Amino acid sequence: MPDENKKELRADMLFEIVKAKYGDRLTDEQLEEVRNGVDGVEGLAAELRKVRLTNAVEPFANFQPFRGADNDE
**Residue 72 pLDDT:** 60
User: Is residue 67 within 8 Å of residue 73, measured between CB atoms?
Assistant: yes
Q: Backbone phi, then psi, for 36, in 5-degree steps?
A: -65, -40
Length of the chain: 73
> Within 10 A of 36 (CB to CB), how many other CB atoms are there?
11
With 70 as the cut, is the pLDDT of residue 69 above it?
yes
Output the pTM of the full model.
0.66
Please give the pLDDT value at position 7: 80
What is the residue-wise DSSP string for 5-69? HHHHHHHHHHHHHHHHHHGGGS-HHHHHHHHHHHHHHHHHHHHHHHS---TTPPPP--------T
Q: Domain limits of the chain?
A: 2-48
Residue 66 clears pLDDT 90, i.e. is over it:
no
Q: What is the pLDDT of residues 14-59, one digit of tens each?
A: 999 999 999 999 999 999 999 999 999 999 999 999 999 898 888 8
Query: pLDDT band at 1, cuts 50/70/90?
Result: low
